[in-house]
A and B are shown apart, each in its own frame.
Chain A
Amino acid sequence: MALFQLSRRDALILALFALVVVTMPVWTAPFGANYPGLMQKFAIYAIFAIGFNILFGLTGYLSFGHAAFLGVGSYTAVWSFKLLTMDALPALLLAVVISGLFALVIGFLSLRRSGIYFSILTLAFAQMSYNLAYSVLTPITNGETSLQLTLQDPRLIDLAFTTRGAGLPTASLFGVTLSGLSGFYFCAVVLLIAFFFAQKVFASPFGMMLRGIKSNQMRMSYTGFNTRPYALTAFVISGMYAGLAGALLAVTDPLAGAERMQWTASGEVVLMTILGGVGTLIGPVMGAWLIKYFENIFSSFNEGILSRFFDFIPAPLHDTVVAIASKFVGEGWQLTLGLLFVLVVVFLPGGIMEGVRRIGALFRRGNPPKAGAMRVQPAE
């Protein structure tokens, strides 16, 4: 089956990646991150970032509105839970289809421009979607209050076979409830499938075409290719990835809020991708994990925890150190993230993956790769 074949290197990477993902509950334990809520986020945002990277990493088109597709995916999934069934598969399927259609429309309009104009257009469309979800389409989205399951939901398919239970239902897969660890493993399996698909895209002639668009779109046109359909396909695929991630967010926690579509959420996935390494397969995943870890763990530190952490410092200095450090944790976690981001962009323009490659090169005693080899080249 040629369809499922990978090069030996890719197959090895997939196997290693699968090992890392499946053993996540073990290796996150020392970092205090081994609880299902966060590990689910790790898997889900990795999918989001991988999808974003298919567009940004391969074609160089920087979309600043990808959160819109995430939101559409979430809303679709929650509505599928409310109207049809609590089973996760229809929700995922519907979310991917609807967000794909949504991406088709936005991509068709936005891809008429490139470079910064494309970014601004996608940002504008995303903000438009956000405002629609927030205050115009409130019967569908419930606005700021967020869309939630209720005890009175019709759930047509479920209730045709079973009677209504006493409490709120949870999402399930063929009757197995997806909460806690089972929810994480479900996300993990979807992540592995998404990763495999991304590998196929990267290795395919289509992926080569997309790289061609990134390096020189003009040249591609002169050689007789109409680049727009290729870029649009990449846009739609990456929109579907975002929709899938959004649906998984709803599967693990059946609630969809408008703030999921806000521009800060779109910016976050750009940060994840750049932090990890644009155009690499593993990079965006690492970026996503790093940012989600910071968001969840650093934001929960308070002065009490810091004070215990810095116990070894003598008393007069202790309070000063705690006072300074407390600005970087809790509500100030974004300050830490910002600093880290600046450091990475200045010293490792290729993101974490460039760092990994440099360390690898040191061990092989070869020539270190030229700094900036992976630099982002915007589509012209």
Chain B
Amino acid sequence: MTNSGNFSRRGVLKGGLAGILATGVSPLIFTRGAYAQEFCNAPTGDTVTIGFNMPLTGAYADEGADEQRAYELAVEHLNGGGDGGLIPFFSSKTLKGNGILGKKVVGVTGDDQTKADAARDSARRMIERDGAVMITGGSSSAVAIAVQGLCQEKGVIFMAALTHSNDTTGKDKKRYGFRHFFNAYQSGIALGPVLGDAYGKDRVAYHLTADYTWGWTQEESMKNATEALGWKTLAPVRTPVGAGDFSQYLTPVLNSGADVLILNHYGFDMVNSLTQAVQFGMKDKQANGKQFEIVVPLVSDLMAKGAGDAMKGIYGTSNWDWQLPDDASKAFTKSFGAKFGQPPSQAAHTSYVQALLYADACERAGTFYPPEVIKSLEGFEFDGMGNGPTSYRATDHQCFKEVYVVKGKEAPANPFDLLEVVATASKESVTYDPAIFGGELGPDTAVAC
């Protein structure tokens, strides 16, 4: 027997113990360098994959299509193509047009169908199969909240695009979720005074509300804002998303004693409900001795285009508008217009900005390791993205910036000239205490997948 003596029980135990100790200690030795093994979908080759998850079908499909265009543009600009769009104007100068951290950006897309279930499926496919290190997109708060929950679980950063519910960065906020878009509470603060000036202090409002988290919180925020003016609110009516025909909900409005109709609808729903309300003659009616008015608290160019003449003279709020006079907005509109032949919508803008913000955060962190990227996004102050000085609040991952009150133009100069900015709410005025919405961010621990 040759070396059986070396295999003594003691020797094996010693060796094993040393091995166990070594494996336990090694992560401590290589902490910084060993990130690559420790988090979900760490980019290994010379490319980095980002998942674009947006509605290509369903009630918000128009917004989804515009988001897709914006992401295409963002990928092009991040990889050094085109005119660079917003990159030269962005106050943080880390983006060089060589991808992210020197890795070329590759996008994978998925259709979230404007449904929470389908959106999670599609996000899971991009995380589990395509190896996406970040997920962005979405056009419904239900989708954003669902995908944000999944991303928290998987340890993948989610840069929400179009989501306006207070819950996204309120009661359902997540450490891995970030929102550049504004929210219903801010819409209420911005829109309230304008409505007071335009329609007076003595009004009765009737709410038609999309029946999910966004509609609920917007209804609540608008109710608070208008009741602070002295308005009364009738019992709200909830409508299903994608209802198509709203006549059954609109018929009771005129006899309800209300003189303002507030439509908490978005996308095709808003286009349909507004058009039908106008067909019912609501814009020309008198109620309580006053002119009957319609308000759409959240509007976009795409919806204004869909609603056509019905949109004229109607107030709402926007996160951004392509007609804003600053250089960055102009440059982005030019870059987008040159590629797609139409101006970008607010959905396109926020998607594009979110993609750039993620790229920049990775550059500043010097790694794709999510906890570090999260740290560099939290409390980040920047400018030059079209909304003036903006900050990402660390406590709830909500961006604070100017909010624009817009009105449907009475005499559009061209087919895209649909909304005009009539008032701007300053960043300070729309800042609120994060505690009012509760919620918990949760941990930032990286997850291996």
Contacts and interface: CB of A to CB of B under 8 A. Distances in A.
Interface of A: 32, 34-38, 41, 134-135, 138, 143-146, 148-151, 166-168, 170, 179-180, 253, 255, 257, 259-260, 296, 299-300, 302, 330-331
Interface stretch (B340-348, B360-368, B438-446): B438-446
B212 A145 contact: yes
A135 B212 CA distance: 9
A197 B172 CA distance: 41
Nearest to A301: B109
Contact of A331 (B111, B121, B449): B111
Q: Which of A36, A146, A180 has the most CB of B within 10 A?
A: A146
A134 B142 CA distance: 13
Closest 9 CB pairs of A and B: A144-B212, A35-B129, A37-B124, A35-B128, A166-B443, A146-B116, A145-B213, A331-B56, A257-B117
A37 B211 contact: no
B32 to A, nearest CB: 23
Nearest to B441: A151
Q: Which of A37, A166, A168 has the most CB of B within 10 A?
A: A37
Contacts of A253: 120, 124, 150
Given A145-B142, A148-B149, A296-B121, A168 B442 contact: yes
B128 A37 contact: yes
Contact of A330 (B111, B152, B211): B111
Contacts of A166: 442-443, 445
Contacts of A32: 129
Nearest to A34: B129
A41 B142 CA distance: 22
Contacts of A331: 56-57, 111
B: interface residue count bin = 35 or more
Contacts of A138: 211
B310 interface: no
A131 to B, nearest CB: 8
Contacts of A135: 211, 238, 240
Contact of B117 (A36, A180, A259): A259
A299 B54 CA distance: 12
Given A255-B149, A259-B116, A299-B110, 4 more contacts: A148-B145, A166-B445, A168-B153, A296-B121
Contacts of A143: 211-212
A27 to B, nearest CB: 16
B115 A257 contact: yes
B283 interface: no
Contacts of A180: 128, 449
Nearest to A169: B153
B261 interface: no
B218 to A, nearest CB: 13
Nearest to A262: B115
Contacts of B238: 135
A32 to B, nearest CB: 7
A138 B57 CA distance: 25
A299 B113 CA distance: 11
Nearest to A150: B172
Contacts of B282: none
A146 B212 CA distance: 9
Contacts of B145: 145-146, 148
B108 interface: yes
A135 B239 CA distance: 8
Given A35-B128, A180-B128, A259 B449 contact: no
Contacts of A150: 172
Interface of B: 56-57, 108-111, 115-118, 120-122, 124-125, 128-129, 141-142, 145-146, 149-150, 152-153, 167, 172, 210-213, 238, 240-241, 440, 442-443, 445, 449
B116 A255 contact: yes
A179 B124 CA distance: 12
Contacts of A260: 117
Contacts of B212: 143-145
A257 B145 CA distance: 12
A225 B121 CA distance: 46
B3 to A, nearest CB: 39
A146 B146 contact: yes
Contacts of B442: 151, 166-168
Given A143-B211, A299-B111, A38 B125 contact: yes
7 contacts: A144-B116, A148-B146, A166-B445, A179-B153, A253-B124, A257-B146, A300-B125
B109 A302 contact: yes
Nearest to B447: A167
Contacts of B149: 148-149, 168, 255
A34 B128 CA distance: 9
A299 B126 CA distance: 12
B122 A300 contact: yes
B211 A146 contact: no
B146 A255 contact: yes
A146 B117 contact: yes
A37 B117 contact: no
A148 B152 CA distance: 13
A166 B446 CA distance: 12
Contact of A300 (B110, B167, B440): B110
B142 A144 contact: yes
Contacts of B121: 37, 41, 296
Nearest to B52: A302
B116 A257 contact: yes
Contacts of B142: 144-146
Given A166-B443, A259-B117, A260-B117, A144 B241 contact: yes
B161 to A, nearest CB: 18
Q: Which of B122, B153, B442, B443 has the most CB of A within 10 A?
A: B153
Given A145-B212, A331-B56, A259 B115 contact: yes
A78 B39 CA distance: 27
A135 B56 CA distance: 25
B113 to A, nearest CB: 9
A302 B69 CA distance: 13
Q: Which of A35, A179, A180 has the most CB of B within 10 A?
A: A35
B270 to A, nearest CB: 16
A171 B241 CA distance: 30
A132 to B, nearest CB: 12
B153 A37 contact: no
Contacts of B150: 253, 255
